[in-house]
């Protein structure tokens, strides 16, 4: 990770959305700090974390916004979405309900975000065995909706890098 603010070629605002409890905050911490907070409250009170990566020989700073739990009350404000060019939409593979709500989140994005926003659908908690959402089912849905799709585990790190990098490279493709 490059820490200086100088020489940034691109700054991308990314938003995390999805039902409360699906692991958004843990995914963010795993990606940015390579940490999983064992005693995490349902939210970690930050507005965003940044991570700088090199992509196609360019320095890209991702500013990744996390909710402070407002999603529980469907109270995410328009300011949250403003300027976002990528969204990581997460559900919990062990909670069918959180997958059923993905359409509602897509609707929310259509209403408040840029219409060209890149979206990565993420089935999190792949380390758990009590699965309620089959991979194939989610994959098919993602194809129909023209979304990128991956299953992750913030707990054991599986695919977390790929999820964010996949999203960021799609955002990059869209802006260059
Ligand atoms: P958020 O409300 O979407 O931000 O969800 P959190 O990141 O706060 O996580 C909600 C709960 O799920 C916490 O108890 C986490 O420890 C747990 N959790 C998050 N990611 C994973 C994961 O990949 N695997 C497992 N087993 N638990 C997870
Ligand atoms: Mg959270």
In short, whether 155's Cβ falls inside 6 Å of ligand 1 is yes
The pTM for the full model equals 0.93
In short, whether 24's Cβ falls inside 6 Å of ligand 1 is yes
DSSP letters, 95-127, are -HHHHHTHHHHHHHHHHHS-TT-EEEEEEE-TT
Instruction: Using most ligand atoms within 8 A of CB, pick from 17, 154, 163 the residue to mutate for ligand 1.
Output: 154
Other CB atoms within 10 Å distance of the CB of residue 45: 9
Q: What distance in angstroms lies between residue 154's CA and the mean position of ligand 2's atoms?
A: 12
Other CB atoms within 10 Å distance of the CB of residue 123: 29
**153 to 6, 87, 116, 166, 175: CA distances (angstroms):** 33, 18, 27, 15, 29
Q: Stretch 168-176: mean pLDDT, rounded? A: 94
In short, whether 42's Cβ falls inside 6 Å of ligand 1 is yes
- With a cut of 0.95, is the ipTM above it? yes
In short, whether 128's Cβ falls inside 6 Å of ligand 1 is yes
Angle, helix 160-175 to helix 24-33, in steps of 10 degrees: 80
pLDDT > 60? residue 32:
yes
pLDDT > 90? residue 41:
no
Cβ-count burial 60-70 (b if 16+ within 10 Å, e if not): bbbbbbbbebe
pLDDT band at 40; cut points 50, 70, 90 = low
Reference 125, options 15, 43, 46, 19; nearest CA is: 19
Q: What distance in angstroms lies between residue 35's CA and the mean position of ligand 2's atoms?
A: 14
Contact between residue 32 and residue 42 where contact means Cβ atoms under 8 Å apart = no
In short, whether 25's Cβ falls inside 6 Å of ligand 1 is yes
Q: Bridge partners of 92?
A: 124
Q: Stretch 60-74: mean pLDDT, rounded? A: 90
pLDDT > 70? residue 46:
no
Strands 58-65 and 48-55: antiparallel
Q: Whose CA is nearest to atom 19 of ligand 1?
A: 23
How far is the C-alpha of 106 from the C-alpha of 113, rounded, in Å? Answer: 10
């Amino acid at each position: 990770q490059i820490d200086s603010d100088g020489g940034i070629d691109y700054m991308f605002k990314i938003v995390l959305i999805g039902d409360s409890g699906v692991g958004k905050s843990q995914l963010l911490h795993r990606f940015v700090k390579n940490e999983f907070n064992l005693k995490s409250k349902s939210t970690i009170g930050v507005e965003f974390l940044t991570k700088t990566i090199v992509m196609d020989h360019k320095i890209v700073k991702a500013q990744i916004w996390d909710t402070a739990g407002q999603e529980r009350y469907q109270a995410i404000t328009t300011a949250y979405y403003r300027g976002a060019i990528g969204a990581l939409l997460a559900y919990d593979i062990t909670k069918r309900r959180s997958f059923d709500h993905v359409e509602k989140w897509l609707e929310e994005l259509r209403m408040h975000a840029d219409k060209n926003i890149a979206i990565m659908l993420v089935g999190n908690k792949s380390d758990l065995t009590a699965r309620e959402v089959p991979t194939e089912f989610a994959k098919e849905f993602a194809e129909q909706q023209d979304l990128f799709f991956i299953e992750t585990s913030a707990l054991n790190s599986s695919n977390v890098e790929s999820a964010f990098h996949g999203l960021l490279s799609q955002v990059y493709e869209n802006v260059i």
